[in-house]
Chain A
Amino acid sequence: LPAAVPVNPKSENNEGDFQFAEGYLNRFYTISTVKSRSRGPVTETLKRMQSFFKLNVTGTLDRETMEVMKRPRCGVPDVAK
């Protein structure tokens, strides 16, 4: 898996957040492990997640997105594998 979800370099996210978000997207939104070697498709996956939850669709790992990702939830993917 790639090292990090693409984020705004000026954001305050730490590496733990990136890895958590990447695991979340991989589990519930199915990041392609091949395509995600370039950052673009991962950003698109993050946008799909933000769109699903009616968040601001930025493709960046902002605080609001992280809060949704950390909520307890059902284990069934939002985008099926």
Chain B
Amino acid sequence: YSFLSSNSKWSTNKITYRIVNYTPDLTVADVDQTIAKAFKVWSDVSPLTFTKINSGTADIMISFGTKSHGDLFPFDGPSGTLAHAFGPGSDIGGDAHFDEDETWTTTSRSINLFLVAAHEFGHALGLDHSTNPSALMFPTYSYVPTERYKLPTDDVNGIQALYGKRTVI
């Protein structure tokens, strides 16, 4: 694992997120559940908590867009770049953008939203790409079964190096 930069982490463990818009590829309920599940892989192994808000500015703003979509990093159509996210910080910091030109699924067909979202949220929390091919934070997409998904050890070590372990009361 590696970090985006030495000081790139949230100063609080209570992080908010907002889904700004939805992909038409999935139902709203599917997207809500998938995004919540993607955050849970990180909160299960760290002290972080993630709370969904439905208006205003959240720490992590989540959106779907195509080509030029309001930042300096346009998407490239189907395949290629699937999504990107910004490290912890104000304004665009922490935000996660998904390429609407992909076909998003909750299955193994095409691109699995859960796997991509969990990866992008790693960036939003301060993790950089890992050179470990089995890590979630490896830069290229590969499908693994998502039922009872367990965060790979490399990623667990990375997030715990940033935020510590989850305290069991």
Chain A interface (Cβ within 8 Å of chain B)? 28, 52-54, 68, 71-76, 78, 80
Contacts and interface: CB of A to CB of B under 8 A. Distances in A.
B120 A74 contact: yes
B141 A54 contact: no
Interface stretch (B13-21, B25-33, B49-57, B81-89): B81-89
A71 B141 contact: yes
B162 interface: no
Contacts of A80: 4, 128
Nearest to A28: B139
Given A72-B79, A72-B80, A78 B140 contact: no
18 contacts: A28-B139, A52-B129, A52-B131, A53-B140, A54-B133, A71-B142, A72-B79, A72-B82, A72-B140, A72-B141, A73-B82, A73-B141, A74-B81, A74-B123, A74-B129, A74-B141, A75-B84, A76-B85
Interface of B: 4, 73, 75, 79-85, 102, 111, 116, 119-120, 123, 128-129, 131, 133, 139-142
Q: Is the interface of B mostly helix, strand, loop or mixed?
A: loop
A72 B133 contact: no
Nearest to A72: B141
B25 to A, nearest CB: 15
Contacts of B75: 75
Given A52-B131, A76-B123, 8 more contacts: A52-B129, A68-B140, A72-B80, A73-B140, A74-B116, A74-B129, A76-B84, A80-B4
